[in-house]
Chain A
Amino acid sequence: MADLKLIDIKKSYGAAAIIHGVDLAIEDGEFVVFVGPSGCGKSTLLRIIAGLEQVSGGEIQIDGQSVTNVPASDRGLAMVFQSYALYPHMSVYKNMAFALENMGLGRNDIDQRVRRAAQMLRLTDYLDRKPKALSGGQRQRVAIGRAIVRDPKIFLFDEPLSNLDAELRVATRKELAALHGEIGGTMIYVTHDQVEAMTLADRIVVLRSGRIEQVGTPLEVYNRPVNLFVAGFIGSPRMNLLPGRTTSAGRIEIGDQALPIEIPSMGQAAGSEITLGVRPECIDVVDEAQADLVITLDLIEQLGGETYLYGSAPALPQITVRQDGQARYERNQRIGLHLKRETLHFFDADGNAIRIR
């Protein structure tokens, strides 16, 4: 159990800068998820915390102590790798015991810890097997077990679920959440899957190109994205982002349609660029007469429990609408849309959110 502080972390390979000054404080017992598109530096940041990469600048503190120059083996952290990195020549038991042996624990102590972790992860029957005789999900659990037995200060997870099939991924995700509830512990989790981020995190850190875009609880990030990138990245299907302009009447005009939507007065001059963001579930289908916007349906996806409508309007990107249940629509049908006023997001010409409330 420990807290972690990153102070102005920088990393570059030769001339190529990967991380441009990251400041972050992670509290004891917190589950923090680093999320971002590939190449955003999230894995590099995790490896820097682990000590597997040296920083080019900045400081890392664990429990208030600087560990910037402490080698990985002495930081007291445990890491679960994307490839699991199980030692193929060792049994499950040996895999979990290896770190404990290196820590110089007694045989009884090791045995007790390994068996407790194995029980927690339902691996007791497999302790004598080699990793190659295990299924993907079991290997995953061994990798987690190897981290748990050490009772580390901080758990680091590097996209641990990306090698599992969809069903197992959901199951393991739930197990991880339960595990965090059970053993507590500070956990840092890297993923590119925003569903994992939303479901697991106490706090989400959204990264882009080696910079932190937003830090917040999952719902904060979902409900109040600070910029266009976060708005587009968090949420599935993604938020509809409609480019438009302000009019002299303080309204917004998107595509070739003027919307009867008042935009918050934030000193936006008439005619300035503005982007309207609205999530698919925040759009109602209404009569054309009362509609804010009329679209022609291109595609209808029936998922049983919900229906996604994809439609287009002149000079606008495709708009996604989510409807509960099994709505009956046809291709090329014209439907009117009503945007729920209180859920709208506005972004200025620089892509930053304009706060209404």
Chain B
Amino acid sequence: MNLSRLVTARRNPKGWHWTDVAAYAYLLLGVVLMFGPVLWLVLSSFKTQASLLEFPPSLLPLSQKEVTVPGYPQPLLLFKVTMEDGTTRELAQIRRVGVQAQMINPADPSQQFRVAIDKRTPVREFSLATKNYTEPLERFAFPRFLANSVIVTVVATLITLLINSMAAYALSIYEFKGKNAAMLMVIGTLMIPITIILVPVYLVVTKLGLVNSLWAVILPGAATPTGVFLLRQYMLTLPRDLIEAARMDKASEWQIYWRIVMPLTLPALAVLTIFSIMWRWNEFLWPLAVLTKTEVYTLQIGLNAFQGELQTQWQYLLAMTVMTLTPVAVVFVFLQRFITTGIANTGMK
């Protein structure tokens, strides 16, 4: 009810103004642009390898119908054939020779025909190739990759929240010499992309003996300048009186941080949580550099394995991409209301 009212909202409920039409057209374009690729991905992930390679491509996961005909061990593909006399009938193809196909009537295997290939069209039906999902989960170590990704994301996000909020607390609540310089340095590191420090960080990680352990992925990115900046900006907006009141209430510095400042920073923490989860979950380059053994692969690296040098198993790649997207999408759905309020409050974009 609400939804129907929402999608038919107009300037004037009585009629359609041209701006209504323009607005809806514009919004529709946005929806198609944003969700079209995702929808395409999800639908394609249910296509068989054959229908993926088909041209022209179809939107829905359609696959050609197959029938088993007595006397033939393999299931045969079913076609709709236009006969020389103009009638159409459904025939199964035994084999194809050049531009001719040898067809058989599945109802009466004694009837065989030779048909030009342009006279036949495949009979298709809607079918979900769920084995795109089940096979990699069984054959490859995908549950393992998934577990690795979850561990990295959760642990790294928790560490990020803790470390960043502590740094932000110090940089926003305390007055000390060099505070602004410290803040500038933190912000300054925002300008250094990972690709530049990849090699030095790799060397550090190697010296620490962390290569091929999940800690190698978790630790280097734990303190993100974006997070420190975001939380600091938010904490600056907390009334100083609250901190002072807590101090008068005999609260220790730890209690002020943990019981007063952290609960009040929740909207900003939620924003950072979403960011951190998305960053960590989608991280590719750094894990690719430090994780070389299959058992420590994260999902993103695992996905990469489908993309072989000679052949790409698109149906698995697409299915596993959907698997990879789902958790982030779910997190986003649950936390998105914090993003708007949190970002509005921090003044960040």
In the bound assembly, the distance between CA atoms of A150 and B246 in angstroms comes to 13
In the bound assembly, the distance between CA atoms of A71 and B253 in angstroms comes to 12
Whether B242 pairs with A87 at a CB distance below 8 angstroms is yes
In the bound assembly, the distance between CA atoms of A71 and B244 in angstroms comes to 11
Query: 17 other contacts beyond A79-B248, A81-B241, A150-B250, with CB at 8 A cut-off?
Result: A50-B244, A52-B248, A73-B247, A73-B250, A73-B251, A79-B245, A81-B244, A83-B239, A85-B241, A85-B245, A87-B242, A89-B266, A98-B246, A98-B249, A99-B248, A146-B245, A146-B249
Whether B248 pairs with A89 at a CB distance below 8 angstroms is no
B117 within 8 Å of A (CB atoms): no
Within the complex, which residue of B245, B246, B252, B263 is in contact with A89, where a contact is CB–CB below 8 Å?
B263
Q: Which 9 A-B pairs have the closest CB atoms?
A: A99-B249, A85-B241, A85-B245, A102-B250, A89-B263, A73-B250, A79-B248, A81-B241, A72-B247
Whether A88 pairs with B250 at a CB distance below 8 angstroms is no
In the bound assembly, the distance between CA atoms of A88 and B261 in angstroms comes to 11
Instruction: Look across to chain B and name the residue whose beta carbon is closest to the beta carbon of A82.
Output: B241
Q: Which residues of B contact A50 (CB under 8 A)?
A: 244, 248
Q: Which residues of B contact A85 (CB under 8 A)?
A: 239, 241-242, 244-245
Q: Which residues of A contact B246 (CB under 8 A)?
A: 87, 98
Whether B249 pairs with A52 at a CB distance below 8 angstroms is no
Whether B255 pairs with A102 at a CB distance below 8 angstroms is yes
Instruction: Give how many B residues have a beta carbon under 8 Å from the other chain's beta carbons.
Output: 18
Q: Which residues of B contact A88 (CB under 8 A)?
A: 264
B260 within 8 Å of A (CB atoms): yes
- Report A46-82 residues with CB < 8 Å from chain B CB: 50, 52, 71-74, 77-79, 81-82
Whether B245 pairs with A81 at a CB distance below 8 angstroms is yes
Whether A98 pairs with B251 at a CB distance below 8 angstroms is yes
In the bound assembly, the distance between CA atoms of A83 and B255 in angstroms comes to 21
Q: When A81-B241, A102-B255 are in contact, do A87 and B260 touch as well, CB less than 8 Å?
A: yes
Whether A102 pairs with B264 at a CB distance below 8 angstroms is no
Which label, helix, strand, loop or mixed, suits the secondary structure of the B interface?
A: helix
In the bound assembly, the distance between CA atoms of A86 and B242 in angstroms comes to 7
User: Measured between C-beta atoms, what is the minimum distance from A237 to chain B in Å?
Assistant: 34
In the bound assembly, the distance between CA atoms of A154 and B245 in angstroms comes to 15
Q: Kindly name the residue among B250, B259, B260 whose own CB sees the greatest number of chain A CB atoms within 10 A.
A: B250
In the bound assembly, the distance between CA atoms of A277 and B46 in angstroms comes to 96
Instruction: Look across to chain B and name the residue whose beta carbon is closest to the beta carbon of A97.
Output: B249
A16 within 8 Å of B (CB atoms): no
In the bound assembly, the distance between CA atoms of A102 and B253 in angstroms comes to 11
In the bound assembly, the distance between CA atoms of A71 and B259 in angstroms comes to 20
A103 within 8 Å of B (CB atoms): yes
Instruction: Look across to chain A and name the residue whose beta carbon is closest to the beta carbon of B243.
Output: A85
Q: Which residues of B contact A103 (CB under 8 A)?
A: 250
A305-326: CB near B (< 8 Å → 1, else 0) gives: 0000000000000000000000
Q: Which residues of A contact B255 (CB under 8 A)?
A: 102
Whether B251 pairs with A78 at a CB distance below 8 angstroms is no
In the bound assembly, the distance between CA atoms of A89 and B246 in angstroms comes to 13
Q: Which residues of B contact A98 (CB under 8 A)?
A: 246, 249, 251, 259
In the bound assembly, the distance between CA atoms of A50 and B243 in angstroms comes to 14
Q: Which residues of A contact B248 (CB under 8 A)?
A: 50, 52, 72-73, 77-79, 99
Q: Which residues of A contact B266 (CB under 8 A)?
A: 89
Whether B260 pairs with A99 at a CB distance below 8 angstroms is no
User: Measured between C-beta atoms, what is the minimum distance from A233 to chain B in Å?
Assistant: 27
Q: Which residues of B contact A79 (CB under 8 A)?
A: 244-245, 248
User: Measured between C-beta atoms, what is the minimum distance from B322 to chain A in Å?
Assistant: 39
User: Measured between C-beta atoms, what is the minimum distance from A71 to chain B in Å?
Assistant: 8
In the bound assembly, the distance between CA atoms of A287 and B249 in angstroms comes to 63
Instruction: Look across to chain B and name the residue whose beta carbon is closest to the beta carbon of A52.
Output: B244
Q: Which residues of B contact A87 (CB under 8 A)?
A: 242, 245-246, 260
Within the complex, which residue of B239, B241, B242, B251 is in contact with A102, where a contact is CB–CB below 8 Å?
B251
In the bound assembly, the distance between CA atoms of A73 and B246 in angstroms comes to 8
- Report A1-15 residues with CB < 8 Å from chain B CB: none
Instruction: Look across to chain A and name the residue whose beta carbon is closest to the beta carbon of B241.
Output: A85
Whether A52 pairs with B260 at a CB distance below 8 angstroms is no
Whether B247 pairs with A52 at a CB distance below 8 angstroms is yes
Whether B244 pairs with A102 at a CB distance below 8 angstroms is no
In the bound assembly, the distance between CA atoms of A85 and B249 in angstroms comes to 11
In the bound assembly, the distance between CA atoms of A26 and B249 in angstroms comes to 23
User: Measured between C-beta atoms, what is the minimum distance from A20 to chain B in Å?
Assistant: 24
Q: Which residues of A contact B249 (CB under 8 A)?
A: 73, 98-99, 102, 146, 150
Instruction: Look across to chain B and name the residue whose beta carbon is closest to the beta carbon of A75.
Output: B248
User: Measured between C-beta atoms, what is the minimum distance from B244 to chain A in Å?
Assistant: 5
In the bound assembly, the distance between CA atoms of A73 and B248 in angstroms comes to 5
Instruction: Look across to chain A and name the residue whose beta carbon is closest to the beta carbon of B247.
Output: A72
Q: Which residues of B contact A146 (CB under 8 A)?
A: 245, 249
Sample 18 A-B pairs with CB under 8 A, ordered by A number: A50-B244, A73-B247, A73-B249, A73-B252, A77-B248, A78-B248, A81-B245, A85-B242, A85-B245, A86-B245, A87-B245, A87-B260, A98-B246, A99-B249, A99-B251, A102-B251, A102-B255, A146-B245
Instruction: Look across to chain A and name the residue whose beta carbon is closest to the beta carbon of B242.
Output: A85
Q: Which residues of A contact B264 (CB under 8 A)?
A: 88-89
B224-244: CB near A (< 8 Å → 1, else 0) gives: 000000000000000101101
User: Measured between C-beta atoms, what is the minimum distance from A11 to chain B in Å?
Assistant: 16
Instruction: Look across to chain A and name the residue whose beta carbon is closest to the beta carbon of B248.
Output: A79
Instruction: Look across to chain A and name the residue whose beta carbon is closest to the beta carbon of B255.
Output: A102
B260-288: CB near A (< 8 Å → 1, else 0) gives: 10011010000000000000000000000
User: Measured between C-beta atoms, what is the minimum distance from A201 to chain B in Å?
Assistant: 23
In the bound assembly, the distance between CA atoms of A81 and B255 in angstroms comes to 20
- Report A262-315 residues with CB < 8 Å from chain B CB: none
Instruction: Look across to chain A and name the residue whose beta carbon is closest to the beta carbon of B238.
Output: A88
Instruction: Look across to chain B and name the residue whose beta carbon is closest to the beta carbon of A89.
Output: B263
User: Measured between C-beta atoms, what is the minimum distance from B242 to chain A in Å?
Assistant: 5
A86-109: CB near B (< 8 Å → 1, else 0) gives: 111100000000110011000000
